[in-house]
Structure 1
Amino acid sequence: MSAVETGRVTTDIPARLDRLPWARWHWLVVIGLGTVWILDGLEVTIVGSMSAALKPEGPGLGLSNFDVGLAGAMYVAGACVGALFFGQLTDRFGRKKLFLLTLGVYTVATVLTAFSMSPWWYFGARFLTGAGIGGEYAAINSAIDELIPAKYRGRVDVAINGSFWIGAAGGALLTIPLLDPTVIDPAWGWRLAFGLGAILAVGILVVRRNVPESPRWLFIHGRQDEAEEIVRDIERRVREEDGLELTDVSDSITIRQRRSIGMGEIAHTVFTLYPKRTILCFSLFVGQAFLYNAFFFTYGDTLTTFLDVKQTGWFLAIFAASNFIGALSLSPLFDRIGRVKMIAGTYILSGVLLGATGMFLGSVTAVTLTLMGAIIFFFASAGASAAYLTASEVFPMETRAMCIAFFYAIGTAAGGISGPLLFGALIENAADSGDITKIAIGYFIGAALMIAGGIVEIFLGVRAEGQSLESIAQPLTAEDVDDTGRPGPGHSTPAPA
């Protein structure tokens, strides 16, 4: 495909989408697209809960503590690669094609995981599963933000990302009967757990087929008539199904339509036009990735290795429920109080609490560690969800999916791969002596990164609440952007940073 200009169009589609009241149609978007985070939560929790079942030879795969951490790292590495690979395809070929494709990749890879016959098969299947989920993050976050009205974008994005913990709680509870040898043969329990994830994915795929392509993506890529048809259909459904009156709009934007945007222009946009936002997103993603992947991937292993817990499902379910409740209850405040105050507050507070937990790690029990984790991640889950919200709304439309993918991959590689490997090694080293305090260094690193992310948000955060995506970051193809990609004389939005 060529990146050459195909024409100019003046459109009011962004204003029409943003002025829509919340309606049943928006729930279709939330259910069809947002449920992917439930799958991710299910996957991560099953791996954490199944660590004991995967260790024995015969019914399991003969994994060591380090292998458990390696499996987590392989999943995250796959997610990084998948985000970058599918992210650039999402910006080039459209949101819908990719959010169908990536869910298909996830489904196939999960089935392969269920049929693992050796550790290396299992590691490879975990990598492919992560690739599907990573691609989902890029395709889904960009599509959701482009379809949800500006007034609701913050709370919807944070709550949807927080739905990861519905899957986590479900996965934790699911492992209770599946790991009970009196209920299911240990050789089959962990395999059934992964197989059920694939069944859930097929159900989501059926719903997702009814979610349309992003009209914003369509009109920028020379498909104005399709975009108009989709928006008119949405407006008709809102009027007929919900009986809501729609106000006229006066705002419009003129776009130089192009079939695709080159990688060079995307890199120029991220690093040259928006360097402060680049630093901001990197800081937020590294902090939350290390915190979650280090703590949660190995949480079940910590309980069984040091705190004599035989069945981790109930502990993980409580921990997961707190995360989802935190994201859901705090999400409206990201639109009311604002992005900067809420992101900075949740990051710094959760970092301080995690550091304090590390200091008293030697005196914790399974109950008190779970209680502290529930309190910490009540706040951290909302902040971590807002990291995805930030990356998806502070860069131009043409680069949105790739920017989400880039920061997810870079931040997750820095915190998500190193975190599980570090914690896996720490647990392995501490297991011989049974001294849980030897893993405290991981808590301190996670705390420092979260606090640093919150401080960066204070100085570089973007006040995006209630603003249209086009006013937060003007499209590169807007008429008042010159040929270098820089805002021209008629540009009235805040200067890039």
Structure 2
Amino acid sequence: MWLVPQLICWLALIADGYEVFVYGATLPLIIHEKTWGITAASAGTVGSVSLVGLLIGAFGAGTLTDVFGRRRLFLFSLTFYSLSALFCAAAANLATFGAARFMTGLGIGGMMPIVVSIASEFAPPRYRHRVVCAVLTGPFFGAVVASFAALVLLPHGSFRAVYALGAIPLVTVLPMAFAWLPESMSYLWLHRQELEAGIVARKYGLDESTEKVADVRPARSPIVALFQPQYRWATIGFWLTMVIILLIIYATSTWLPHFMVQAGFPLGSSLEFLMLYSVSSIIGSVIVSWIAERTGARTMIVIGFFLCAAGFVLIAGASRIAAICAVVVAGFGTAAVLNLMLDHIAGFYPAAARATGVGWANGVGRFGAIAGPSYGGMVLTISHGSPMIAALGFALPAILGGLVVGIPLQRSPQSGSASAAPQR
């Protein structure tokens, strides 16, 4: 039965990935919409505006989830996002489109901390890394769907239809969640709903004693709990690392197709590269989670950052084969960093502050996400059409991230195992 909530969470994250990647996939056509008067600068601004919504959603939902429950916030966030996707499809001008993108970000921004918390709590402890990282392949599957939808619909000038597809969860995932997604056992215990917690534990094969002993209701706000002495430096390290990786992901998802067009590849081929980047991220996520259970998360996160940097440098190669290898390597490294970070953040904090910890790390990381599209646009502007200069500009944050994570890590007070939190 524990597979059911994991499946629902995975499907919800497909919507998350779709929202993130759909803008980059459709940008080459949107940027030529004559009536909108969009430029590279305004395109970056619209991309960043939608990420402001993601930022607010991540902060708000992460904290509210620990107060009102995982299930309620899950249902609300998915509904709000799906309706907002329809507004994107119906936008009449750039300002309206930007406002609609802000709304989709607001809705989907709260999804990641909710889903990571649910997936972590319902996963069998022995296979938690693999299960959570498998669920976290959802965004990359969403990227594949976005790329495929763009490949099929954009040649017909139907970028609006690509955005309308974002509302599909309203009639698919949402009914499944209403019927089969339970409230988390930790939330039920923390709110003294022992009978309901026992029912959930027996139905999904969970160990009731783990949450009873390990978690007590915090005397202060769960936000304050993140800065207790045993968590303080790890929290700062989590936040800094998430800023860097999300800047890389959002700069890439927004500008990779346009960059490949600039490098001489046709639009259809460039969208295929975005799809390849997503597929390699999915495969990499599964492989990396398996290796991390044997080598430790820190090693794989450092390797992931430097693989990502190497991929961006290779992307400047003149041949198609070199570009394919570069995109695969970059996607593999991106998945290694993001998924292991989210998994270990969820395992680091106690259940009383778990969603808050994930939500605030993801929320602070969104500052990097907000800067990502503008950063990518700046790199492409400065490069003046030079693939090598652009590639080095994209590789620089990944190199910085690898150096940051190389700082000694703090041990998780919950599990006794090394966490992925860089210490300052």
TM-score, L = length of structure 2: 0.89
Could you tell me how far apart the structure 2 residues matched to 1:252 and 1:89 are? 20
Looking at structure 1, the residues matched to 305 and 160 of structure 2 have their Cα atoms a distance apart, in angstroms, of 36
SS at match of 1:297: helix
Shift of 1:140: 1.2
1:133 aligns with 2:108: yes
- 1:241-390 matches, within 5 Å, as 253-254=212-213, 258=217, 262-263=220-221, 266-270=223-227, 272-311=229-268, 312-351=270-309, 353-354=310-311, 356-357=313-314, 361=316, 363-365=317-319, 368-390=322-344
1:45 aligns with 2:2: no
Measure how far apart 1:402 and its partner are: 1.3
Q: For the Cα contact (< 8 Å) 1:38–1:165, is it kept in 2?
A: yes
Instruction: Decide whether aligned partners of structure 1 residues 180 and 384 sit closer, same or farther in structure 2, where only a CA change above 3 A counts.
Output: same
Structure 1: which amino acid aligns with 2:143?
A
Compared CA separation, residues 400 and 439, structure 1 to 2 (3 A) = same
Specify the alignment match of 1:117 in structure 2: 92
Alpha-carbon shift at residue 470 of structure 1 (Å):
4.8
Q: Tell me which residue corresponds to 1:204.
A: 173
Match of 1:418 among 371, 386, 406: 371
Which digits, 9 at most, give the CA deviation of each residue in 1:369-401, with x for residues without a partner?
343021122133122111111221111211111
Matches within 5 A, 1:2-21: none
**Alpha-carbon contact 1:261-1:398 (below 8 Å) kept:** no
Q: Where in structure 2 are the equivalents of 1:93-108 lying within 5 Å?
A: 93-108=68-83
Alpha carbon RMSD of aligned pairs, Å?
Answer: 2.8
In structure 1, C-alpha distance between the alignment counterparts of 2:260 and 2:160, rounded to whole Å: 22
Structure 1 residue 163, shift from structure 2 partner: 2.6
Matched, 1:213 2:183: yes
TM-score (norm 1): 0.77
Query: CA 1:253–1:91 in structure 2 vs 1: closer, same or farther (change >3 Å)?
Result: closer
Q: Distance in 1 between matches of 2:208 and 2:294?
A: 24
AA partner of residue 215 (structure 1) = M
Q: CA deviation at 1:84?
A: 0.7
The DSSP-based 3-state class of the residue aligned with 1:434 is coil
CA distance in 2, matches of 1:124, 1:42: 18
Deviations 1:396-454, CA, capped at 9 Å, x for gaps: 211111111111111220x2122211211332455xx5333443452242222221243
The answer to whether residue 130 in structure 2 is matched with residue 180 in structure 1 is no
For structure 1, the 5+ residue unaligned runs are 1-24, 236-245, 474-495
Which whole-Å CA distance do the structure 1 matches of 2:153 and 2:208 have between them? 55
The structure-2 alpha-carbon separation of the partners of 1:122 and 1:399, relative to structure 1 and needing over 3 Å to count, comes to same
Q: Within 2, Cα distance between the matches of 1:334 and 1:172?
A: 29
Gaps of 5+ in 2: 418-422
The Cα of 1:306 is off from its aligned counterpart by 3.6
Task: Give the 3 Å change call, closer, same or farther, for CA 178–455 of structure 1 in structure 2.
Answer: same
Match of 2:360 in 1: 406
Paired AA for residue 294 in structure 2: R
Offset, 1:252: 7.8
Task: Give 3-state SS (helix, strand or coil) of 1:307's partner.
Answer: coil
Change (3 A) 1:442 1:332: same
Give the 3 Å change call, closer, same or farther, for CA 151–201 of structure 1 in structure 2. farther
Residues 319 and 371, structure 1, Cα contact 8 Å, conserved in 2: no
Match of 1:194 among 147, 160, 163: 163
Residue 51 of structure 2 corresponds to residue 76 of structure 1: yes
1:71-106 deviation line (CA, Å, top 9, x unaligned) = 221222211110111111101011110111111111
CA distance in 1, matches of 2:197, 2:266: 55
Task: Say if 1:266 and 1:46 are closer, same or farther in 2 by CA, change over 3 A.
Answer: closer
1:201 Cα offset (Å) = 4.4
Closer, same or farther: CA 45–471 of 1 in aligned 2, 3 Å: closer
Does structure 2 retain, via aligned residues, the 8 Å contact 1:322–1:377? yes
Structure 2 distance, partners of 1:406, 1:228, is 29
The alpha-carbon distance between structure 1 residues 349 and 46, as it changes in their structure 2 partners (threshold 3 A), is closer
Q: How far apart, in 1, do the equivalents of 2:307 and 2:402 lie?
A: 8
> Aligned partners of 1:314, 1:355: CA distance in 2, in Å?
17
Asked if 1:449 corresponds to 2:400, the answer is yes
1:108/1:198 contact within 8 Å kept: yes
Q: Who wins on radius of gyration, i.e. which is larger?
A: 1
Taking every aligned residue pair, what percent have the same amino acid on both sides? 24
Q: Distance in 2 between matches of 1:205 and 1:326?
A: 29
Residue 230 of structure 1 corresponds to which residue in structure 2? 200
8 Å Cα contact 1:291-1:450 kept in structure 2? no
Superimposed CA distance per residue, residues 12-37 of structure 1 (whole angstroms, 9 cap, x where no aligned partner): xxxxxxxxxxxxx1221121112222
Output the CA distance in 2 between the equivalents of 1:271 and 1:250: 24
Are the equivalent residues in 2 in contact too, given 1:75–1:130 (CA < 8 A)?
A: yes
Distance of aligned partners of 1:31 and 1:201 in 2 relative to their CA distance in 1, 3 Å threshold: farther
Q: 1:267 to 1:170 in 2, by over 3 A?
A: same
Give the distance between the partners of 1:261 and 1:373, measured in 2 at CA. Answer: 48
Decide whether aligned partners of structure 1 residues 43 and 251 sit closer, same or farther in structure 2, where only a CA change above 3 A counts: closer
Q: Is the 8 A contact 1:65 1:427 kept in 2?
A: no
Does residue 151 of structure 2 align to residue 155 of structure 1?
no
Residues 31-71 of structure 1, C-alpha deviation per residue, up to 9 Å, x if partnerless? 1112222112222332112112112335x733212222222
Aligned to 2:420: none
Residues 267 and 319 of structure 1: CA distance in aligned 2, closer, same or farther (over 3 Å) = same
- Name the structure 2 match of 1:19: none
